[in-house]
Structure 1
Amino acid sequence: MRVAMLLLLAAFWLAGPASAEVQEVYDFDTRAEEQRYQQLISELRCPKCQNQNIADSNAPISKDMRDQVYRMMRQGASNEEIVDDLVARFGEFVQYKPPVDKRTIVLWAFPAIAAIGGFLVVAGVLWRARRRNEQDSALSDDEKRRAERILKDQGGSSDR
């Protein structure tokens, strides 16, 4: 029992360093620079992870992108220059919010198009159902005469 407990403790002790997360340490002159860096890396998507920003990703490509952002900031590049450089290198996919232009207009317009299309489909289904109910409830002339006869017969027999 003691041997098993010691082996278990040794396994946890050895597994600890393997599961530890590596944190990069960058030196910033001001708190504003650090906040700018954090904002930039949170707005850029990891090309490998796809649904994770480069701030949260542990993929090697994300580390390279974070290093590139830091280097360019230290060289005095603007946010736009940094993003443009990474887009040129990895494609527009790295932007969570791609700019509106002729290539991305469908992407930006799709939610409105889908909502309008859904509304039109629902309106069409309701309109058809209402028309069908009106047609089903309308009586022909023969059916109206027959109904009147039945009502007269019932009314006349209840008076007696």
Structure 2
Amino acid sequence: MLRLLVVLLLLTAAPAMAQQIEDRLADPAQEMRARELSRELRCLVCQNQSIEDSNAPLARDLRRIVRERVVAGDSDRAVQDYLVQRYGEWVLLKPRFNAQTFLLWLGPVLLLLLGGGIVFALYRRQARAQVVAPVALDADEQRRLDTLLRDDEVGK
């Protein structure tokens, strides 16, 4: 029974052991920069993970490229530009604001304003529909109203 438990524990730990430990940079400041940059870059295989969090072979290659560029002395922007040139804007987890991505950045605000405008217009239309303009009474209706009002005053 104990052996079975040990085997099960080892099997559940297998995915954790599969993660390869990469070569870390000797300079802790450069290593920290490389990790920060890796958190801002999308794994092109996993798509919703950064290359820092992904175990995909392509993510490992991208982490290696980031480290090489950091060691070479490139700025953060230069490293990102290099990867964008090579893989496109999709590689950035937080796309830059430019002519190609302005709808991505401003789209939610525009949709919110459009939705608010539609709700406002519908509310105003409904409010106008509820306001009923007074209609003038013809002579017969006016006589009946006067009679009712007189009878009401007499009954008090």
- Report the TM range for the smaller structure's normalisation: 0.7 to 0.9
Q: Look up the match of 2:96.
A: 99
Q: Which residue of 1 aligns with 2:67?
A: 70
2:124 alignment counterpart: 127
Choose the corresponding residue for 1:153, options 144, 148, 151. 151
Distance verdict in 2 for CA 1:96–1:14, change over 3 Å? closer
Between the aligned partners of 1:35 and 1:152, the Cα distance in structure 2 is 92
Q: Percent identity?
A: 34
- What is the distance in 1 between the residues matched to 2:150 and 2:43? 81
Q: Aligned-pair RMSD on alpha carbons?
A: 2.4
Partner of 1:9: 5
Q: 1:26 aligns with which of 16, 23, 26?
A: 23
Taking the aligned partners of 1:6 and 1:60, their CA distance within structure 2 comes to 36
- Which sections of structure 1, spanning at least 5 residues, go unmatched? none
Q: 1:130 to 1:39 in 2, by over 3 A?
A: same
Residue 119 of structure 2 aligns to which amino acid in structure 1? V
Once structures 1 and 2 are overlaid, which stretch shifts more, 63-72 or 17-26?
Answer: 17-26
Question: Which of 52, 60, 77 is residue 49 of structure 2 equivalent to?
Answer: 52
1:141 is matched with which residue? 136
Distance 1:38 1:87 in 2: 18
For residue 84 of structure 1, the aligned residue among 63, 72, 81 is 81
1:65 deviation in Å?
A: 1.0
DSSP 3-state at the match of 2:123:
helix
TM-score, normalised relative to structure 2: 0.81
Deviation at 1:99, TM superposition (A): 2.0
- Displacement, 1:16? 4.4
Moved more, 89-98 or 125-134: 89-98
What is the alpha-carbon distance in structure 2 between the residues aligned to residue 34 and residue 95 of structure 1?
A: 19
Q: Secondary structure at the match of 2:82?
A: helix
Runs of 4+ that moved beyond 6 A: none
2:31–2:67 CA contact under 8 A, matched in 1? no
Unaligned runs of 5+ in 2: none
Write the distance in 2 (CA, Å) between the matches of 1:42 and 1:130: 51
Q: CA deviation at 1:6?
A: 4.5
Aligned length, in residue pairs = 152
Q: 1:149 to 1:19 in 2, by over 3 A?
A: farther
Which TM-score applies when normalising by structure 1? Answer: 0.79
Instruction: Give the direction of change, closer, same or farther, for the CA distance of 1:128–1:6 in structure 2 (3 Å limit).
Output: same
Aligned equivalents of 2:11 and 2:108: distance in 1? 46
